[in-house]
């Protein structure tokens, strides 16, 4: 029996759409979220699927290998077969997600070829009906960036928040989305909709746009439009119901958020409401315990009061819900893999991301449907949302990309120039007490030190291009006493020092480095290239900037600001508290100097 081709599926959808337009099939309230055009394809597809094929569509998994046919032992260990193609066809997978550690993102042409190969695997299986894949990624920009250069880089959400321009936020999403689409990636798990009100947050931090719910909402809405309306890929607002006020990383533990329901409404909910209002295709759950929203102690991912009660019913969300990765400890501490997947579906989740035990999770869902624990109607409703979204994003009619055209669409001069301009507007000058900035570096000796092998080298190179004689001493995030002593000794004969910090608020070694450099009496410019909070631990530093990012686009922008080619215009999107008391502001939200 021959399988329907993409062309035939398109014809079926068109024919059924014409029937619907003639009024032969009534549209019910439950169907209202499904546009008329794909409804025929969706319903005919679901009607022909086996139970196992339906269950497979619920999973988005990480697959090892640079091509669809690359054999890897990691695939054998996780899935019992060697290649990504075999994994997709064994489980009738709904989607794949890309990471560097799975060897998925080596360069744009390879990514596009991998995407085409995975789509081919999905569309040439022995299933009763062939369904194209979700190809997903976390390309937030800044700290969480899976695809590096030559793809266009951006400094991340908090930097965009410091820039304060929703137009720039939307443009960054549009450019990122267009480049992802050219490489065959159709889902981006961004933007981050968490409001980072806790400076001690180890997992969100600079991934959030800031600490003001109103500003975060505006930025989230702008990026949803940039990804979806402008670039034509799916956005995913994350991590519902909010992950911004925790000092625990859900990748390794189970965070508790102690906001009241009223605080949730005021602080956490607004960005998600805005994402829903802007039509976000996807919302991703958080593996957090939120007692005011559900006192069972369950992670939000498996909480029906949170996912169905709050998200679906109170916020009125009709789109696809995806779990955060089920391999994370925040999800797995209370329930094992067999129970976790089923409970997530019962709570209202549609797509299950990255289970660590595929056979166990898959079989547990099959058993749950066969036993009636999950009704066939519930399962089919999830399939309707998933398949409708695949159709909406053009995967049914055009699942492949043109590998030969990738170089003309990814990392173009126009995109790189736009990224540079956007980044220039994000640098925030917090202190300039001695008037050291801007610096005339021509003919001057400048020591560039602190965090980042490439970051310090790139900044030094940029300053050298402007006439400085630079020395580089990279010290990392936890310099030893010997490293600090050697770095201090290297200031001899220097005219100025630029030291880059990365979460120095967590590193007494970095704090010692900065203080000992300040004690030399040399002009020292301290630059926080991640969290802006570092200044609280060396308040004596007279010159301090925040870039919120060490992405490749950031050091050149920093050089332009240091030398006065560009004036700093960023404003703090968060409050910097004192080191002694997190409730006392050292520098308030909105602070920022210029020259």
Catalytic residues: 251, 324
Q: How far is CA 499 from CA 99, 203, 409, in A?
A: 31, 24, 36
DSSP 593: B
Cα distance from N-terminal residue to C-terminal residue, the chain: 73
369 vs 55: CA distance, rounded Å: 9
The Cα 66–Cα 107 span in angstroms is 10
Query: Contact 469/566 with Cβ under 8 angstroms?
Result: no
Give me the count of residues in the chain: 595
Q: Which of 85, 112, 219, 120 is nearest to 162 (CA)?
A: 219
Distance of CA 531 to the CA centre of its chain: 17
Residue by residue, what is the 3-state secondary structure of 162-204? Answer: HHCCHHHHHHHHHHHHHHHHHCCCCEECCCECCCCCCCCCCCC
Distance CA 261, CA 259 (A): 7
What is the distance between the alpha carbons of residues 195 and 197, in angstroms, rounded to a whole number? 6
CA separation, residue 185 to residues 139, 179, 460, 576 (Å)? 10, 9, 35, 37
- Residue 590 burial by Cβ neighbours in a 10 Å radius (0-12, 13-18, 19+): middle
Tell me the C-alpha distance between 34 and 4, whole Å. Answer: 22
Phi, psi (deg, nearest 5) at residue 137: -160, 160
φ, ψ of residue 99 to 5 degrees: the values are -145, 160
Among the listed residues 245, 248, 208, the one whose alpha carbon sits nearest the alpha carbon of residue 531 = 208
**Cross-strand pairs, 351:** 322
- Hey, what are 252's tokens? 């390794």
Tell me how crowded residue 169 is: count the other CB atoms within 10 A of its CB. Answer: 27
Name residues whose C-beta falls within 8 Å of residue 192's C-beta, 6 or more positions apart in sequence. 140, 157, 204, 207, 208, 209, 238, 239
472 contacts 422 by C-beta, under 8 angstroms: no
Can you tell me the distance from the alpha carbon of 79 to that of 308, in angstroms, rounded to the nearest whole number?
A: 31
Report residue 470: phi and psi, to 5°: -105, 145
**Under 8 Å between Cβ of 220 and 194:** no
Taking the C-alpha atoms of residue 367 and residue 179, their distance in angstroms, rounded to an integer, is 40
Query: 569 to each of 157, 283, 381, 458, 561, how far by Cα in Å?
Result: 16, 32, 48, 22, 10
Residue 247 has a CB neighbour count (10 Å cut-off) of 12
């Amino acid at each position: 029996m021959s399988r329907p081709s993409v062309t035939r599926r398109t014809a079926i959808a068109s024919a059924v759409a014409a029937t619907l337009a003639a009024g032969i099939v009534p549209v019910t309230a439950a169907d209202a979220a499904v546009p008329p055009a794909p409804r025929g394809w969706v319903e005919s597809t679901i009607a022909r699927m086996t139970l196992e094929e339906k269950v497979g569509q619920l999973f988005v998994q990480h697959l090892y290998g640079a091509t669809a046919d690359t054999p890897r032992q990691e695939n054998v260990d996780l899935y019992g077969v060697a290649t990504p193609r075999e994994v997709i066809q064994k489980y009738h997978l709904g989607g794949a997600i890309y990471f560097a550690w799975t060897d998925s993102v080596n360069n744009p042409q390879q990514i596009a070829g991998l995407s085409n190969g995975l789509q081919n695997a999905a569309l040439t299986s022995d299933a009763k009906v062939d369904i194209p894949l979700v190809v997903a990624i976390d390309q937030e920009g800044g700290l969480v960036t899976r695809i590096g250069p030559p793809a266009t880089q951006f400094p991340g959400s908090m930097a965009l928040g410091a820039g304060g321009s929703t137009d720039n936020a939307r443009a960054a999403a549009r450019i990122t989305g267009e480049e992802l689409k050219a490489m065959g990636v159709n889902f981006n798990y961004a933007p981050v909709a968490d409001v980072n009100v806790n400076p001690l947050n180890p997992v969100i931090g600079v991934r959030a746009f800031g600490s003001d719910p109103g500003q975060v909402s505006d930025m989230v809405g702008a990026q949803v439009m940039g990804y979806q309306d402008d670039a034509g890929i799916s956005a995913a607002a994350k991590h519902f119901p909010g992950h911004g006020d925790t000092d625990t990383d859900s990748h390794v533990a189970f965070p508790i958020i102690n906001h009241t329901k009223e605080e949730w409404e005021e602080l956490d909910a607004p960005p998600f409401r805005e994402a829903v209002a802007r039509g976000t295709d996807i919302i991703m759950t958080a593996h957090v315990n939120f007692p005011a929203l559900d006192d069972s102690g369950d992670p939000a991912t498996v909480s029906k009061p949170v996912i169905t009660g709050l998200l679906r019913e109170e916020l009125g969300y009709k789109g696809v819900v995806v779990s955060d990765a089920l391999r994370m400890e925040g999800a797995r501490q209370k329930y094992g893999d067999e129970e976790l997947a089923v409970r997530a579906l019962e709570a209202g989740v549609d797509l299950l991301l990255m289970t660590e035990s595929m056979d166990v999770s898959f079989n547990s869902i099959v058993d749950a449907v066969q036993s009636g624990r999950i009704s066939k109607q519930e399962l089919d409703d999830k399939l309707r949302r998933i398949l409708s979204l695949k159709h909406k994003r053009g995967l049914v009619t055009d699942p492949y990309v043109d590998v030969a055209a990738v170089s003309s669409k990814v990392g173009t001069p126009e995109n790189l120039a736009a990224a540079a301009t956007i980044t220039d507007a994000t640098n925030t000058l917090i202190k300039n007490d001695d008037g050291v900035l801007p610096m005339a570096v021509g003919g001057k000796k400048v020591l560039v030190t602190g965090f980042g092998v490439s970051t310090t080298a790139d900044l030094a190179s940029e300053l050298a291009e402007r006439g400085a004689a630079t020395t580089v001493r990279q010290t990392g995030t936890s310099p030893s006493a010997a490293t600090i002593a050697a770095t201090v000794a290297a200031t001899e004969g220097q005219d100025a020092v630029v030291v880059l910090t990365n979460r120095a608020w967590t590193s007494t070694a970095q704090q010692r480095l900065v203080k000992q450099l300040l004690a030399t009496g040399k002009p020292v410019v301290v630059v926080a290239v991640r969290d802006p909070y570092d200044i609280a631990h060396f308040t004596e530093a007279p010159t301090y900037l925040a870039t919120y990012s060490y992405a490749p686009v950031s050091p050149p922008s920093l050089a332009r600001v240091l030398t006065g080619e560009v004036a700093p215009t960023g404003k703090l999107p968060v409050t910097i508290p004192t080191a002694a008391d997190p409730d006392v502001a050292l520098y308030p939200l909105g602070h920022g100097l210029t020259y």
